[in-house]
């Protein structure tokens, strides 16, 4: 493939961006970059009833956060501007008209009531869901069933009407999906979809074909839920005379619930306690906020890596890939046909890997807001040291607060019960004398601290197993954290001594 590769992500701005949508973006991006082609973002906002304000901006924000920026878009412009379908409205009519003139489409004047009546009257056990199709169209009010003179009159009077495709009866249409291979459809099963609405706005079906053609799209990747629309699109490509340049299609597998039972939905996330959207999404209609991967503490690189593997692998067993590596290795024919089960534990594993290996400087600006929210402030040098010490213990960004709190403040709670269980006089005496010795320690380094600790311990006839964990709990609050003498070095002499003394006071005799 040459530089001609042009792919597009064509979202309808109707709400938050689900994992599946971001994965479609990612596969488009990887494919385009792999082939040195262009990645186009086209906003498909022709369905004004489903339009949600803010949803378009939200898409840009997600693309930005993931680092998957398009080469052409409504914001960036490009050679095929405008990239927002509502702004392309005047352009579609001529194609709908061309289809009518050639006999592939027709005017339909039916009112909402008439359509409802048809669905009601024609409903029977053989046809539980009557649709506007080859079986019913001649009983409806359209340019196929009405007298031509009447049609002209209705048009002259500007009677509201739509344009529908005339789906052929008993025809098989086929295409080769890049993931699924040959796919055939029986056109008799498909209804006469509306192509142009009464207000002159195209429907998705017409607009997607016209724009993929005009924007010279070479490959179109979309979720498998769009497969049932494929026969309509195939016929439109043919009827408009563009069949030779139809993009190659790939219908991407669904992302499934963790148990593999059906498509992963926002509700599953709420129910099982994990995010399904890329970023926080506040529904302007309900004011309800759905948590995103970003806000729950994922690094975008980890999120993108995890998504890439949700339905694709390079066959080598490798799981950690930088974006550049993904670009190099990605191929659409290695995308699985079957749905990919979402596994939140695995998603967190990816994040943990990325946090562990990320430079402390990269983590600092990401972690700082969480620290600040918890009332923690310190100079950058100190924060960087803390980050370096605890990052291997952090899975999500907010974990830094929990894992690092004691470096900045006296712990709110001390697990005294764990010390108390094996507390004895000897230990108390040991800690009292060690705190004294600390006053005259020459250098406040973890090595010096450890040496003085060991010496005092031996002098009291104690072993590490007796006193090391109590010291940790006194300084940290619980049984976690990096090396205890490093902690003491970091928090300083006064704070170390205070914490030990405070614990001793509470432990009593
Ligand atoms: N506008 C469609 C959507 O919202 C795009 C489907 C396609 O890519 O053809 O997903």
Both 444 and 383 in one domain: the answer is no
Q: What are phi and psi of 177, to 5 degrees?
A: -80, 140
Provide the β-strand partners of residue 183: 175
**Hey, whose CA ends up nearest to atom 10 of ligand 1?**
11
- Which amino acids bring their CB within 6 angstroms of ligand 1? 10-12, 44, 204, 208, 222, 226
Q: Which atom number of ligand 1 is nearest to the Cα of residue 208? A: 9
Q: Which atom number of ligand 1 is nearest to the Cα of residue 233? A: 9
Task: Judge whether 346 lies within some domain.
Answer: no
Task: Judge whether 265 lies within some domain.
Answer: no
Task: Judge whether 435 lies within some domain.
Answer: yes
- Between CA 123 and CA 117 the distance in angstroms is 10
Both 160 and 114 in one domain: the answer is yes
Task: Judge whether 339 lies within some domain.
Answer: no
pTM, two decimals, is 0.94
**Hey, whose CA ends up nearest to atom 5 of ligand 1?**
10
Both 117 and 191 in one domain: the answer is yes
Both 365 and 470 in one domain: the answer is no
Cα 34 to averaged position of ligand 1 atoms, centre (Å): 22
Cα 189 to averaged position of ligand 1 atoms, centre (Å): 22
Both 379 and 460 in one domain: the answer is no
Residues labelled as active-site residues:
266
- In this structure, what CATH number is given to the domain that contains residue 168? 3.90.800.10
How would you write the pLDDT of the chain (509 residues) with one tens digit per residue? 444 899 999 999 998 999 999 999 999 999 999 999 999 999 999 998 888 889 999 999 999 999 999 999 999 999 999 999 999 999 999 999 999 999 999 999 999 999 999 999 988 888 889 999 999 999 999 999 999 999 999 999 999 999 999 999 999 999 999 999 999 999 999 999 999 999 999 999 999 999 999 999 999 999 999 999 999 999 999 999 999 999 999 999 999 999 999 999 988 998 999 999 999 999 998 999 999 999 999 999 999 999 999 999 999 999 999 999 999 999 999 999 999 999 999 999 999 999 999 999 999 999 999 999 999 999 999 999 999 999 999 999 999 999 999 999 999 999 999 999 999 999 999 999 999 999 999 999 999 999 999 999 999 999 999 999 999 999 999 999 999 999 999 999 999 999 999 999 999 76
Task: Judge whether 368 lies within some domain.
Answer: yes
- In this structure, what CATH number is given to the domain that contains residue 375? 1.10.8.70
Residue numbers of the domain that contains 148: 88-207
Task: Judge whether 375 lies within some domain.
Answer: yes
Cα 141 to averaged position of ligand 1 atoms, centre (Å): 30
Both 501 and 422 in one domain: the answer is yes
- Between CA 116 and CA 146 the distance in angstroms is 19
Count the helix, strand and coil residues of the chain and give each as a percent rounded to the nearest 5.
50, 10, 40
Q: So what's the pLDDT on residue 126?
A: 85
Both 459 and 371 in one domain: the answer is no
Mutate to test the pocket of ligand 1, among 9, 11, 42 (most ligand atoms within 8 A of CB): 11
Q: So what's the pLDDT on residue 2?
A: 46
Mutate to test the pocket of ligand 1, among 202, 204, 237 (most ligand atoms within 8 A of CB): 204
Task: Judge whether 178 lies within some domain.
Answer: yes
DSSP string for 389-422: HHGGG-SSTTHHHHHHGGGTS--S---HHHHHTT
Task: Domain count for the chain, please give it.
Answer: 3
Both 112 and 156 in one domain: the answer is yes
Both 382 and 461 in one domain: the answer is no
Q: So what's the pLDDT on residue 509?
A: 64
Task: Judge whether 36 lies within some domain.
Answer: no
Which of 151, 173, 207 terminates a domain? The answer is 207
């Amino acid at each position: 493939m040459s530089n001609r590769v042009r792919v597009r992500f064509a979202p309808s701005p109707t709400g938050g961006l689900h994992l599946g949508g971001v994965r479609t973006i990612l596969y488009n991006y990887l494919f385009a970059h792999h082939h040195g082609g262009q990645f186009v973002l086209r906003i498909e906002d022709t369905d004004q009833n489903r339009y949600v304000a803010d949803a378009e901006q939200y898409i840009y924000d997600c693309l930005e956060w993931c680092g998957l920026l398009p080469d052409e878009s409504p914001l960036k412009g490009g050679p095929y501007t405008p990239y927002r379908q509502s702004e392309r409205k005047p352009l579609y009519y001529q194609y709908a008209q061309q289809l009518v003139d050639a006999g592939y489409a027709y005017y339909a004047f039916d009112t909402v009531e008439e359509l409802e009546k048809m669905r009601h009257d024609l409903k029977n056990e053989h046809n539980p869901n009557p649709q506007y199709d080859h079986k019913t169209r001649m009983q409806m009010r359209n340019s196929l069933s009405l007298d031509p003179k009447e049609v002209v009159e209705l048009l002259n009077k500007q009677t509201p009407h739509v344009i529908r495709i005339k789906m052929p009866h008993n025809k098989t249409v086929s295409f080769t999906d890049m993931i699924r291979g040959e796919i055939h459809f029986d056109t008799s099963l498909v209804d006469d979809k509306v192509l142009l609405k009464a207000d002159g706005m195209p429907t998705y079906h017409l607009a997607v074909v016209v724009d993929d053609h005009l924007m010279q799209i070479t490959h179109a990747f979309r979720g498998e839920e769009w497969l049932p629309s494929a026969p309509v699109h195939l016929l439109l490509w043919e009827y408009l005379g563009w069949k030779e340049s139809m993009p190659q299609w790939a219908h991407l597998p669904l992302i499934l619930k963790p148990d593999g039972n059906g498509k992963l939905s926002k509700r599953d996330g709420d129910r099982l306690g994990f995010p399904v959207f890329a970023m926080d999404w506040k529904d302007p209609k309900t004011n309800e906020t759905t948590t995103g991967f970003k806000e729950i503490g994922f690094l975008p690189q980890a999120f993108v890596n995890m998504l890439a593997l949700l339905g694709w692998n390079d066959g080598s067993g490798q799981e950690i890939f930088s974006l550049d590596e993904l670009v190099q290795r990605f191929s659409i024919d290695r995308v699985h046909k079957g749905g990919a089960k979402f596994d939140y534990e695995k998603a967190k594993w990816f994040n943990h890997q990325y946090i562990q290996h990320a430079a402390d400087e990269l983590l600092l600006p990401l972690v700082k807001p969480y620290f600040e929210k918890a009332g923690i402030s310190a100079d950058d040098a100190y924060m960087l040291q803390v980050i370096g010490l605890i990052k291997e213990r952090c899975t999500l960004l907010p974990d830094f607060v929990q894992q690092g709190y004691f470096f900045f403040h006296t712990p709110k709670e001390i697990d005294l019960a764990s010390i108390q269980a094996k507390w004895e006089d000897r230990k108390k005496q040991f800690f009292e004398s060690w705190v004294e010795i600390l006053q005259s320690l020459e250098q406040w380094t973890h090595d010096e601290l450890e040496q003085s600790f060991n010496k005092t311990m031996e002098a009291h006839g104690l072993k590490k197993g007796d006193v090391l964990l109590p010291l940790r709990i006194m300084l940290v609050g619980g049984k976690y954290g990096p090396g205890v003498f490093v902690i003491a070095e970091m928090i300083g002499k006064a704070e170390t001594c205070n914490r030990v003394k405070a614990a001793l006071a509470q432990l009593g005799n």
